[in-house]
Structures are given as structure tokens and as C-alpha cells.
């Protein structure tokens, strides 16, 4: 296998453009990098201020919430506030535009910021949940929208604590969502990995699954990742710049 072509982002190879023009089934995986240009930290960015004393891996766990529900609740309240104060960027909107031109388009995201739906994407699979929702910590089934609360709120049905409706380290992903993500990955003709370090399973395996099924794999990321040697095209740069240019090059004027 030849090393992936490395292209100055705005000079796309004709074979990539022509392949995407005739692709009817595209699957996309996004990570925190696509929201970086909205001003949100990525998962591997250093935490700031009061939170710099903690690692996300030490807060985003059921054990951390059991040990100190208020600390974990406050961390998510801080993150939710940053999400509410920022907004989707040109990379999110470029994917909304791409979806309009592709008959079978699936957007799989590891992000919990809700920006893809907020930007207008329709077929979105949130592998790691959504920070705008909470659910019963004791699993009685209650799921509801996040409501501002200084104290950790309680489940209206059983009285247990309510927790952010996101997947914590050590927890399994929502089954139906993961199945749908795999099905879209198996069926796609082109797979994009955008703004993700490709370090966390099972999301990180999707690109390899697509590749094994013969799909064209494109990586759009600021930095090289462990996936880079396996992709057909590695577009290294900012997704907020590359995606609008790529969508224009493929679908512009249609
Ligand atoms: N454009 C494109 N890529 C970017 C940009 C940008 N403007 N800014 C940063 N990146 C890239 C970084 O180079 C990095 O490779 O985005 C990637 C973000 O990687 P992570 O911070 O590891 O985030 P992510 O891959 O989404 O993490 C996956 O790990 O911690 C868990 O559940 C958490 O969903 C998260 C998962």
C-alpha cells in the first residue's frame, strides 16, 4: 500500500473529488477536533483554571460521580456552559451541506456537545451521548433535558441522583447507536475520520472496518494520528477550513 497522499488542504486530488462526486453512501466519524474552532477544548487539551488539577479520565466515571456527585456535576455544568456560549463552526455546517447531496449519509460523532444537530445535521449517531440531557443514575429509565441546578438534581421517578446522559470511561456505548454506526460503516463507499485522535475504542476501529470492506478512507485532522498510515487521503489542517473547501470542490454548483 502506498503511503497516503498528503495534500495541501485546498488542492484536492482529482481522484478524490471524482470518487466523492459519485459516492451515494458516506459515513463520517467526528471527534473533539471538529469543535475546536468553536473554541471548545479537545479531550486531550490541558484542562484550565480550577479544573486543571483534574484529568477528564478521573471525572468522567461512575466511580467519580459516586464518590463526589457535586464535583462531577459542576465539571459538566462548566463544560455545558462553554458549549452554550459557543456555537457550531464552518466544519459542522459543511457536513450539513454534504448531507444534502449524499443519498445515504451517516454522521457518527464521539462529541457530546450536540453541535452537529444544532448545525442542522439530520442523521446523527451520538456514540458517547449528549451533554444537554441527564438520566437517572440508578437506571430507572428517566431521561430528561438538562436543567440549571447548583445542586445535583434528583430523579423525579425514584429519587436517585440525575447524571449527565453521556458515556463515562468504563461504561458501554448505547447498543442501538453502536449497531447503527457499524452498519453505516460496513455499507459506506467513503468513510471520513474528522478531528479525532483515534485513540478510544470502539469508535477508533470504525475506519479500519470501512477500509477492510473496500471503502475509500479520508482523514481530516490537525495532526497525524495512528490511523494516518492506513488512510487513502490524509488532509492535515483545520476541519473548519478543509471541509467547506472540500464540499465546495465536490458539490459546488450542484
Ligand atoms: N481541525 C481538525 N482537527 C483538529 C483541530 C481542528 N481545528 N483541532 C484539533 N484537532 C485534532 C487533534 O489533532 C486531535 O487529534 O482533533 C483531535 C482531538 O483528539 P482528542 O482530543 O483525543 O478527542 P477525541 O478523538 O474526540 O477523543 C475521543 O476520547 O476521551 C474520550 O470520550 C472521549 O469522545 C472522546 C474520545
Q: Is residue 144 part of a domain?
A: yes
Computed over every residue of the chain, the mean pLDDT equals 93
Q: Are residues 154 and 240 in the same domain?
A: no
| C-alpha of residue 67 to centroid of ligand 1, in Å | 28
pLDDT at residue 8 tops 80: no
Q: Are residues 152 and 98 in the same domain?
A: no
Is 128 known to be catalytic? yes
For the chain, how far is it from start to end, CA to CA, in angstroms? Answer: 34
pLDDT recorded at residue 52? 81
Q: Is residue 75 part of a domain?
A: yes
Cα separation, 100 vs 105, whole angstroms: 9
Model pTM above 0.85 = yes
Predicted confidence band at 57 (pLDDT cuts at 50, 70, 90)? confident
Domain boundary among 119, 141, 166: 166
**Ligand 1 in reach of 193 Cβ (< 6 A):** no
Q: Is residue 117 part of a domain?
A: yes
Closest CA to 81 of 175, 14, 150: 150
Q: Are residues 118 and 228 in the same domain?
A: yes
Domain boundary among 166, 188, 223: 166
Q: Is residue 79 part of a domain?
A: yes
CA dihedral in degrees (1, 106, 171, 66; nearest 10)? 130
Q: Are residues 149 and 243 in the same domain?
A: no
Q: Is residue 69 part of a domain?
A: yes
- Give the residue numbers spanning the domain of 178: 9-40+87-128+173-251
Predicted confidence band at 41 (pLDDT cuts at 50, 70, 90)? confident
Ligand 1 pocket test, candidate residues 28, 221, 240, 246, most atoms within 8 A of CB: 221
Q: Are residues 27 and 93 in the same domain?
A: yes
Give per-residue pLDDT as tens, 163-190: 999 999 999 999 999 999 999 999 999 9
Determine the average pLDDT of the residues in 7-27.
88
Q: Are residues 76 and 56 in the same domain?
A: yes
Between these two residues, 201 and 134, which has the higher pLDDT value?
Answer: 134
Q: Are residues 123 and 241 in the same domain?
A: yes
Q: Are residues 188 and 231 in the same domain?
A: yes
pLDDT at residue 4 tops 70: no
Between these two residues, 129 and 42, which has the higher pLDDT value?
Answer: 129
Predicted confidence band at 250 (pLDDT cuts at 50, 70, 90)? very high
Q: Are residues 186 and 233 in the same domain?
A: yes
The atom number, within ligand 1, closest to the CA of 238 reads 1
C-alpha cell at 3: 503511503
| C-alpha of residue 195 to centroid of ligand 1, in Å | 5
| C-alpha of residue 228 to centroid of ligand 1, in Å | 14
Of 45-49, 134-138, 197-201, 229-233, least confident by mean pLDDT is: 45-49
pLDDT recorded at residue 43? 72
pLDDT recorded at residue 56? 85
The atom number, within ligand 1, closest to the CA of 239 reads 1
The atom number, within ligand 1, closest to the CA of 31 reads 26
Q: Are residues 120 and 184 in the same domain?
A: yes
| C-alpha of residue 111 to centroid of ligand 1, in Å | 9
Q: Are residues 161 and 234 in the same domain?
A: no
Q: Exactly one of 92, 116, 128, 208 is catalytic; which is it?
A: 128
Determine the average pLDDT of the residues in 227-254.
94
Q: Are residues 65 and 78 in the same domain?
A: yes
Domain boundary among 116, 142, 166: 166
Determine the average pLDDT of the residues in 118-129.
97
Ligand 1 pocket test, candidate residues 9, 33, 172, most atoms within 8 A of CB: 33
Predicted confidence band at 139 (pLDDT cuts at 50, 70, 90)? confident
Percent of the chain with pLDDT over 70: 94
Cα separation, 135 vs 147, whole angstroms: 12
Tally the domains of the chain: 2
| C-alpha of residue 69 to centroid of ligand 1, in Å | 26
Nearest CA to ligand 1 atom 25: 196
**CATH code for the domain in which residue 162 is found:** 3.30.1600.10
**CATH code for the domain in which residue 224 is found:** 3.40.50.1220
pLDDT at residue 230 tops 60: yes
pLDDT at residue 10 tops 80: no
* In contact, 222 and 238? CB cutoff 8 Å: yes
Q: Is residue 57 part of a domain?
A: yes
Amino acid at each position: 500500500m502506498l503511503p497516503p497522499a498528503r495534500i495541501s488542504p485546498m488542492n484536492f486530488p482529482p481522484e478524490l473529488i471524482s470518487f466523492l462526486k459519485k459516492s451515494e453512501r458516506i459515513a463520517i466519524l467526528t471527534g473533539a477536533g471538529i469543535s475546536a474552532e468553536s473554541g471548545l477544548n479537545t479531550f486531550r487539551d490541558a484542562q484550565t483554571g480550577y479544573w486543571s488539577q483534574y484529568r477528564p479520565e478521573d471525572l468522567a466515571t461512575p466511580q467519580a460521580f459516586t464518590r463526589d456527585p457535586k464535583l462531577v456535576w459542576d465539571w459538566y455544568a462548566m463544560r455545558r456552559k462553554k458549549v452554550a456560549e459557543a456555537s457550531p463552526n464552518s466544519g459542522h455546517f459543511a457536513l450539513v451541506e454534504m448531507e444534502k447531496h449524499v443519498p445515504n449519509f451517516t454522521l457518527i460523532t464521539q462529541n457530546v456537545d450536540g453541535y452537529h444537530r444544532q448545525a442542522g445535521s439530520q442523521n446523527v449517531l451520538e456514540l458517547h451521548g449528549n451533554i444537554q440531557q441527564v438520566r437517572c443514575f440508578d437506571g430507572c429509565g428517566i431521561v430528561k433535558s438538562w436543567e440549571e441546578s447548583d445542586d445535583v438534581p434528583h430523579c423525579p421517578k425514584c429519587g436517585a441522583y440525575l447524571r449527565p446522559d453521556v458515556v463515562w470511561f468504563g461504561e458501554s456505548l448505547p447498543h442501538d447507536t453502536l449497531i447503527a454506526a457499524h452498519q453505516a460503516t460496513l455499507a459506506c463507499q467513503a468513510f471520513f475520520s474528522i478531528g479525532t485522535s483515534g485513540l478510544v475504542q470502539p469508535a477508533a476501529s470504525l475506519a479500519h472496518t470501512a477500509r477492510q470492506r473496500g471503502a475509500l478512507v479520508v482523514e481530516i485532522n490537525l495532526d497525524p494520528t495512528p490511523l494516518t498510515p492506513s488512510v487513502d487521503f490524509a488532509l492535515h489542517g483545520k476541519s473548519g477550513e478543509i471541509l467547506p473547501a472540500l464540499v465546495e470542490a465536490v458539490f459546488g454548483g450542484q
